[in-house]
């Protein structure tokens, strides 16, 4: 058996080569682990895919509800907004009413030409304020003698949970509202906004 006599210089070179090789192997191992982790995360994202369903909560049915939404919370939000809207209208609070309208709704109904085109000027309805008092308030006070109306169905827009078509029943009539959530707050919107 041959004995190899290492010099100090040879030992340092050997240690350097071994350390470099082990760092290189460790680096390759970490890169492979990162790739495996990335692939696992991609698979988790695929598994987290949101499903859409119809749900009944109490006496209200909801359609197009994403599975990642707390239906009880959103039901409470919508009902609270609608109750507040009803109180605003029934108390003839025009200034508060315009604050719960979407910008598009306000823009449409604040345009004097809108009333001319719809033929409402012959009834003295020429601007948004006269529209509120003569149409919104008057029609609402006649329904249910001014008693609260209840939501019975909510259909969320298929691609946007911040748009909802709201159905309210009064005797044998069904009223439809369009709610649009803007900056975290529900607003009364237009049909066109819901459909966009």
Residue 58 Cα distances to 47, 89, 150, 153, 154, angstroms: 30, 26, 12, 11, 13
Q: What is the pTM of this model?
A: 0.72
Q: How far apart are CA 122 and CA 111, in angstroms?
A: 16
Q: What average pLDDT values come out for the chain (196 residues) when binned by 10 residues?
A: 57 60 62 56 58 87 90 93 93 96 95 92 92 91 76 92 91 89 95 90
Q: How far apart are CA 189 and CA 196, in angstroms?
A: 12
Cα torsion through 89, 92, 98, 104, rounded to 10: 50
């Amino acid at each position: 058996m041959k004995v190899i006599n290492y010099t100090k210089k040879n030992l340092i070179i050997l240690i350097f080569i071994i350390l470099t090789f082990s760092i290189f192997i460790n680096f390759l191992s970490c890169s492979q682990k990162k790739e495996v982790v990335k692939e696992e995360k991609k698979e988790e994202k695929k598994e987290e895919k949101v499903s859409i369903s119809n749900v009944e909560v109490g006496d209200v049915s909801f359609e197009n509800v994403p599975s990642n939404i707390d239906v009880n919370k959103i039901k409470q939000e919508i009902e609270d907004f609608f109750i507040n809207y009803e109180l605003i209208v029934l108390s003839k609070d025009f200034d508060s009413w315009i604050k719960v309208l979407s910008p598009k709704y306000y823009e449409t109904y604040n345009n004097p030409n809108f009333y001319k085109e719809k033929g409402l000027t012959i009834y003295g309805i020429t601007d948004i304020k006269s529209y509120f008092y003569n149409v919104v308030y008057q029609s609402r006070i006649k329904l249910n003698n001014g008693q609260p109306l209840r939501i019975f169905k909510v259909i969320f827009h298929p691609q946007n949970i911040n748009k909802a078509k709201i159905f309210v029943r009064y005797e044998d009539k069904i009223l439809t509202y369009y709610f649009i959530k803007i900056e975290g707050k529900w607003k009364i919107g237009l049909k066109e906004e819901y459909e966009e």
